[in-house]
Structure 1
């Protein structure tokens, strides 16, 4: 049993099923408590100051209640204990902002959502909900690839952390290590050593430069492995390649893999902030991705 509390954003469609499937797997393994939230638009203003369209409000609430009933049925089939479940309806103009409100009230330590519907099958697309969460959540945000519910693993097998040694990364490593312990997973630390396009044509000693960068990456990974903790099973890997997407594609991925990446160092402390590199990792990953807040977690 863990003190982890998980919030899943649910809509009655495939992406909602993907999020619930991923969240229910986390909850069953970690013994965590799960809150499922459906965020609907606020009521339209009607004639007269301070009044709203009562029929529209009733319709919105009814649709949310139907959605959560569908979510409850999904979780019953997934064998998630009812005692570990809460259901919340929230009105907000932004679904991501609504989830942040619910997450704060539920003291969630992890928010789980599905991919935007336009995404490729087996990959993650960032829509408006994810964009709001990935630029301001004080806790890790995990995204399920499109179609995850149809081919989900029976268990997780490993947590891989995309690591670059920068300032304020140690708390993010600690957060990832706690998640790995909750899910009883070994940890793999991976650094992508990226070769700039055209480097060989500009510098005679280009290969030597890359070898030095690779050696430095391996030293940084050894340092990070020590920070993850002596009680964890940790492996490290530095991979050289051109571009995040292509280099990440050369990495072996288990069926039950989870990939973690750190927020951009340009973002605020204690918040998730998706930068260019982390955004490319999220979009290229063929497995669930959790984005870690920079600095000390909010809770």
Structure 2
């Protein structure tokens, strides 16, 4: 997986600063080029007096976009490109920009309204997570308030299948490039009070999941340190709580096997992981 050209969408709000802080950290550690973009809506057209109003509105939108990029420049400095893009939808505008600029990944912050340290999927993320041709990386709310000095580890949420196996290969390459250890975790969700037949089934599932994890890790240890871990709980969130999480953790999820090729597409489990995670999450685009 190439990680040499990052694109982040910025607005002068806390979520914009969260995404920017994560993008700067990733770009610095991966040695990637960073582009900071603000997406502004198109100005309406018109004739006569309406045309004058449209021109004033267009000037206002341009002024707001310039102010947003000026704030981003104050936070980052000159080690980035700063661009304005016009589109009706902020997420779709970032998808368009990612294609035009050959971005390796798109980084954004969480939508407002959620708990500190958690990710909320708003309209921008929703548009990206159904159309982006490159990985989408989401920063939790409040990430810019106390970002880690560096990433410590990459963790892949693994469940045996073509997309998950491809995700491990891509994550192992990225871990090698960034000189980071890699962890593969499988989440096993069990009921609160399982009966005997369910206990027998859980024991078999544990054995199979452990075997799958070891098989997935095999062959990648020559590239980087790889560990495996089975996390169990009564829900996806509960299973995640039983894991050990480093301050500079990045969770990687594969797109759904049912999603379109070369697009990001979240499955049910990935959505639950995104909502329960307390660290940034990267969703990979589905590859052939």
TM bracket, shorter-chain basis: over 0.9
Give yes or no for the alignment of 1:259 onto 2:251: yes
SS of 2:162 mapped into structure 1: coil
Shift of 1:182: 3.1
Q: 2: CA distance between counterparts of 1:248 and 1:3?
A: 27
Q: 2: CA distance between counterparts of 1:23 and 1:280?
A: 23
> Which residue of the partner structure matches residue 150 of structure 2?
155
Q: 2: CA distance between counterparts of 1:15 and 1:182?
A: 28
TM-score, structure 1 normalization: 0.90
Q: How does 1:268-283 map to 2 (within 5 A)?
A: 268-283=260-275
Residue segments in structure 2 that go unaligned for 5+ positions in a row: none
Q: How does 1:140-289 map to 2 (within 5 A)?
A: 140-196=135-191, 200-201=194-195, 204-226=196-218, 228=220, 230-289=222-281
Shift of 1:224: 1.1
The aligned length equals 285
Indicate the RMSD between aligned Cα atoms, in angstroms: 1.8
Between 60-69 and 160-169, report the one with greater CA deviation: 160-169
Q: 2: CA distance between counterparts of 1:25 and 1:102?
A: 21
Q: Say if 1:195 and 1:69 are closer, same or farther in 2 by CA, change over 3 A.
A: same
Q: Which residue, out of 122, 127, 132, partners 1:127?
A: 122
Contact map agreement 2:134 2:285 (CA 8 A) in 1? yes
SS of 1:8 mapped into structure 2: strand
Shift of 1:295: 2.2
Q: How does 1:11-160 map to 2 (within 5 A)?
A: 11-47=11-47, 53-76=54-77, 82=78, 84-160=79-155
SS of 1:24 mapped into structure 2: helix
Contact map agreement 1:173 1:227 (CA 8 A) in 2? no
Per-residue CA distance 1:60-117 (angstroms, 9 max, x = gap): 11110110011011002xxxxx3x4211101111100000111111111111000001
SS of 1:53 mapped into structure 2: helix
Q: 2: CA distance between counterparts of 1:173 and 1:261?
A: 9
Q: 2: CA distance between counterparts of 1:55 and 1:182?
A: 48
Residue segments in structure 1 that go unaligned for 5+ positions in a row: 77-81
TM-score, structure 2 normalization: 0.94
Between 105-114 and 287-296, report the one with greater CA deviation: 287-296
> Which residue of the partner structure matches residue 9 of structure 1?
9
Q: 2: CA distance between counterparts of 1:229 and 1:131?
A: 35
Contact map agreement 1:175 1:292 (CA 8 A) in 2? no
Q: 1: CA distance between counterparts of 2:264 and 2:192?
A: 29
Q: Say if 1:218 and 1:144 are closer, same or farther in 2 by CA, change over 3 A.
A: same
